[in-house]
Structure 1
Amino acid sequence: MIAADLVHAERRAFEVGESVELMKDLGIEPIMAEAVIRRLKKSAALGTREELGGVPPKSLPEVYEIWRTKGHC
């Protein structure tokens, strides 16, 4: 899931955003969902989807190296 985040974070943030709206409509405070959106947007801002050609890294060490070089850690 973490590796795929580097490719799919923008879409996932949108999807969680729709869930946030539903929760608000139901009177539920979306504390964790809003935190998830912030983290996903931070991941999307790295621009890795384009750099990776839409293909997630195959290992966690690859993910960690991308984070390190992008200053995400």
Structure 2
Amino acid sequence: MMLKNSVRELRARYRLTQQDLADKIGVSRQTIGLIEKGDYAPSVTLALKMANVFQVPVEQIFYLEGE
């Protein structure tokens, strides 16, 4: 199973740049880019911070896909 995410779509909906989101959750813009590409799986704490920014459940941002 692969961890997928909807970070890019949610950022667009909230009109946030990668840098805006990074600033809100305390990471680098590069980290946001890696998460969006699926090259980095965030910690639970980081995922919860994103959920707080987007005001959605974590499962709406991150989900498992495959087998």
TM-score if structure 2 supplies the norm length? 0.32
TM-score if structure 1 supplies the norm length? 0.30
Which protein shows a greater Rg? 1
More helix by share: 1
More strand by share: 2
